[in-house]
């Protein structure tokens, strides 16, 4: 198999035998997990607005950006379940 060609990859729905309940379970759980990550970053932003006297502000900011990046990957994960965009999930 030539791994450089997107057409060689199948959608993840094939792994689930296109069982609608199973596919939507994975899609919904990834979306809810992404929302949970974004709410953590939102809570951190709220905490920062209320307490500006925090030490290590840059560490706090970079951790919040890391949390947002983690949540973003969960929002991107449902896409390969429906189509053959597997390469984007790995980035």
- DSSP per residue over 4-21, as a string? T-GGGSPPGGGTTTT-HH
pLDDT at 78: 73
**Distance between CA atoms of 64 and 58, rounded to whole angstroms?**
10
What's the whole-model pTM score?
0.70
**Distance between CA atoms of 9 and 68, rounded to whole angstroms?**
28
**pLDDT of 42 above 70:** yes
| Reported confidence tier of residue 55, pLDDT bands at 50, 70, 90 | confident
Q: What percent of the chain has a predicted confidence (pLDDT) above 90?
A: 31
Residue among 33, 32, 1, 27 nearest 80 (CA):
27
| Mean pLDDT taken over the chain | 78
pLDDT at 24: 82
55 — phi, psi (to 5°)?
Answer: -80, 160
| Reported confidence tier of residue 14, pLDDT bands at 50, 70, 90 | low
């Amino acid at each position: 198999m030539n791994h450089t060609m997107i057409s060689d990859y199948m959608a993840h729905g094939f792994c689930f035998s296109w069982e609608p309940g199973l596919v939507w379970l994975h899609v919904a759980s990834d979306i809810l997990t992404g929302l949970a990550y974004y709410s953590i970053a939102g809570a951190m932003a709220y905490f920062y607005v209320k307490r500006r006297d925090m030490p290590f502000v840059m560490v706090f900011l970079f951790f919040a950006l890391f949390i947002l990046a983690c949540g973003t990957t969960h929002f991107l994960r449902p896409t390969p379940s429906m189509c053959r965009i597997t390469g984007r999930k790995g980035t």
